Chains A and B, each alone.
Chain A
């Protein structure tokens, strides 16, 4: 039934213009907001190069769960217990959080909307993707993340799925 395809294409295009685009625009506008200020000037490079930490040592569940998770204060505490390890002012700020047993209010940059099921486990373990594919060269970052390397957009998801020959059926991701 190839004739049916034309209206479908047309519908799809109309849809993208009418509904999907605003979603992209709004979400792009949000995530690339330069005003994002993280509570602590976290330095990924120091932790990876100097302290020799692996991604999954702080983002604990990256290989086992849907969400990789931002580290809780308990994870920071394993190294930063009492005495500072550096002369950084930022570490003092961290130690304050640790001593007060308060979680650090990180601003979450990579947010997937609730109608999407995104599983780190599936992408990292099953899909064998490198973290850098979406998050960039984190090991070189000296400042905390304030904008997304790869914007969380359906277009970006689908491009990659297409190139890797992974299903783009709505129900593969949308719930």
Chain B
């Protein structure tokens, strides 16, 4: 100790490097290039701030990066950006560690041995692109352009268009995304006719009942909702959370209603029963703007039961109570509270939709908003306008591309399941393994980590092994990119151009601009530019997808639409919503920019554009269903079933709706199947506990695990750093002889995981909850080997309609490890 201290004192006297920067051995610890370190060592310590948008989750918070002599040293929220107004979450605050991460790839890599061997050798960009471009050219020459696929993740807006344009010009129908929120829009499209996720007028609502939606912790934009929530505390808005586990949102709600997993839809219908029976629903909206509420007759004269009859006949509170475990009195109370409180709002997500019956449950939850007449009402549900970005120019499509794009996508199932999913990794893996309807030759993996995040890891791993060329853009090698042949590492979001606009559920249209705050630290490239370069190298009409010199130009081009629209304003200090609305009503120009160049400059300086003024829509222009109304009876789902019926006809099977439903594993029969209903989840009977999972703020979708600080904060709520845990109710723990911090086995029919028990009263007695995000076997030195991945013990079940993973459909048993 004594000696060490003396050593230290020497260090203080001897090797401090700079007045401005307090690092004594910074270069040894940081992965910062020498040129930057030199600048910081000798520089004056000039502090600058640069605005951009956080890229670590889909939330799209505006951030200000603090730089000392050009080196990013910390991040704070952009106080003027309307999504987060200066607020931040722990993950975003830690984004610089992603920039300086020691396991970031320094340049393109080529795998030299088996997947998972960790044996890679560096390769130049030119060589890597040459290999890919040659393969792409060869396939295209052989009319096999459809054998190329891109598996994206959560990209939206411009990047999605960018990849889609490449695939269109090249000639493949196989561009998919698989993010956790993938297929979220399916139930909405069945009810509303269009695939837009509704936004909720939280600001004016007086009562918010959330079915499983942990919007403060796991929503699209937790910081946005946290701002709204804290604002509400002054307005006495009431929050009620229906959930099996006391999530962050439930813990902050005024009331928590525990519910058995997989029964959210039944509760929503039980509440509908109360609203209908006690005539607390909005008869004007239901009468004028909905379809299928009352009994009705179709064109052939057949009678159909309406929503009212079905709900009154099947979902009386005693029965619902039996299904859900929610006391009858509580159901009545919830229904009456919703019906009698003006501006009451209902939303569903998370556990309510992450199950085999998720689509029907979400339909049931949204039906409550229809009964309450919430559409376009103050404190209700609405659909935001899209930011008026300039559409990208069309690409040229030659005969090869046209034929390729017309092919059946590789995700469409030979079998019937998941009629409405945009993408199901289940079908995708099966098709690749079966070369059906054609083999896959090249797969690009853009973001995401399907082998960690999805349920059927083994199938998809097999599929990856089979594909001759897998290209990943990851900057840190993860479970999935272990299988890639080539990795073309992408810039972090702090080094690249991009935009994050119109985040779903955020209540106004906005456009956030991502710009490099620092020159790239390593030999990485933006993926937008890589696709452009590939388009150039393949040549011919594919080159039309490379219309812009670089991705920055493309972002600039898109942003010009905002300027030309004359709407909204660049975010700036002191802009408050009412003020802007006032100015716009008066027809005043809110921005101080005469030319697009000035607009662009302001955009980069301030970080984004927004338009809080939204024209109220008429109810008859709201829905694009066949009836033009909110459909309790989904005609789209009905025609989808009929389409499948024809498909079954071709294969010579039996010919009625029942056969379609049974092939889909849907237990409802007749009109019920097209309407919101409770579909029992096929739980296994021999295990007593339901397994539920949740995301924590420092980790989100598993990506935070690469960051040491986020690993330390992973279990901040239960004091469990670097470790997974299982939340168990005290009674259950006592019965199983488990004490706090004991190691327990959580065992399903698929497998088991060993976790620490955390005894908490905030969970139902027959539910065990394990956080998602740990248990990596790859993804850098800090992620690997800590905690468990609960997805590995889940049954491979998906939403019967949308194909979304069923994360709460597994039952488990717990036991102490001896």
Contact = CB atoms under 8 A, between A and B. Distances in A.
Are A and B in direct contact (Cβ within 8 Å)? yes
A61 B19 CA distance: 12
B14 A26 contact: yes
Contacts of A61: 44-46
A72 B42 contact: yes
A112 B13 CA distance: 9
Contact of B23 (A22, A23, A27, A114): A114
Interface in A1-42: 19, 22-23, 26-27, 29-30
A133 B21 CA distance: 24
Nearest to B43: A69
A67 B45 contact: yes
Interface residues of B, number: 21
B283 interface: no
A63 B21 CA distance: 18
A114 B22 contact: yes
A67 B18 contact: yes
Interface string A88-123: 000000000000000100001001111100100000
Nearest to A29: B13
B19 A103 contact: no
B303 interface: no
Interface in A47-87: 60-61, 65-70, 72
Interface stretch (B4-12, B221-229, B445-453, B631-639): B4-12
B25 to A, nearest CB: 11
Interface string B1-40: 0000010011011101111111110000000000000100
A115 B22 contact: yes
A65 B13 contact: no
B22 A103 contact: no
B13 A30 contact: yes
A113 B13 contact: yes
A114 B9 contact: no
A114 B24 contact: yes
A68 B13 CA distance: 20
A26 B18 contact: no
B42 A65 contact: no
A103 B46 contact: no
Contact of A67 (B6, B9, B10, B19): B19
B38 A113 contact: no
A27 B45 contact: no
Given A60-B44, A103-B38, A103-B42, A66 B14 contact: no
Interface in B555-605: none
Given A22-B6, A26-B9, A26-B10, A69 B44 contact: yes
A175 B19 CA distance: 13
Interface in B35-89: 38, 42-46
B347 to A, nearest CB: 46
A111 B19 CA distance: 7
Contacts of B9: 19, 22-23, 26
A30 B42 contact: no
Contacts of B45: 61, 65-67
Contact of B13 (A27, A60, A69, A103): A27
A64 B416 CA distance: 71
Contacts of A108: 17-18
Interface string A131-175: 000000000000000000000000000000000000000000001
A26 B9 CA distance: 8
Contacts of A23: 9, 12-13
Interface string B511-536: 00000000000000000000000000
Given A65-B46, A67-B45, A103-B38, A114 B13 contact: no
Contacts of A22: 6, 9
Interface in B209-252: none
Contacts of A67: 18-20, 43-45
Nearest to A65: B44
B786 to A, nearest CB: 32
Nearest to A110: B19
B5 to A, nearest CB: 8
B44 A26 contact: no
B16 A113 contact: yes
Contact of A111 (B10, B16, B44): B16
Contacts of B43: 67, 69
Nearest to A118: B19
B39 to A, nearest CB: 9
A142 to B, nearest CB: 24
Nearest to A31: B13
Interface in B529-556: none
Nearest to B46: A65
A115 B23 CA distance: 10
B16 A114 contact: yes
A61 B18 CA distance: 14
Contacts of B6: 22
Interface string B596-616: 000000000000000000000
Which interface residue of B13, B24, B42 has the most chain A CB atoms within 10 A?
B13
A60 B45 CA distance: 12
B324 to A, nearest CB: 56
Contacts of A103: 38, 42
A61 B24 CA distance: 22
Nearest to B14: A30
Contacts of B10: 26
Given A22-B6, A60-B44, A72-B42, A66 B13 contact: no
A115 B20 CA distance: 11
Nearest to A24: B13
Nearest to A106: B42
A26 B13 contact: yes
A23 B38 CA distance: 27
Contacts of B14: 26-27, 30
Nearest to B19: A67
Nearest to A22: B9
B4 to A, nearest CB: 13
Contacts of B21: 114
Which interface residue of B9, B19, B42, B44 has the most chain A CB atoms within 10 A?
B19
A73 to B, nearest CB: 10
A103 B20 CA distance: 18
Which interface residue of B17, B20, B23, B38 has the most chain A CB atoms within 10 A?
B20
Contacts of A175: 22
B42 A66 contact: no
Contacts of A30: 13-14
Contacts of A26: 9-10, 12-14
Contacts of B44: 60-61, 65-69
Interface string B427-439: 0000000000000
Given A114-B22, A114-B24, A115-B22, A70 B13 contact: no
A109 B314 CA distance: 85
A27 to B, nearest CB: 4
B90 to A, nearest CB: 24
Given A23-B9, A26-B14, A66 B20 contact: yes
Contacts of A29: 13
A112 B16 contact: yes
12 contacts: A22-B6, A22-B9, A26-B10, A26-B13, A65-B45, A65-B46, A68-B44, A108-B17, A112-B16, A112-B19, A114-B22, A118-B19
Given A67-B18, A114-B24, 15 more contacts: A23-B9, A26-B13, A30-B13, A60-B44, A65-B45, A66-B44, A66-B45, A69-B43, A69-B44, A111-B17, A112-B19, A114-B21, A114-B22, A115-B22, A118-B19
Interface of B: 6, 9-10, 12-14, 16-24, 38, 42-46
Name the 7 nearest CB pairs between A and B, nearest first. Answer: A114-B22, A27-B13, A61-B44, A26-B13, A67-B19, A69-B44, A65-B44
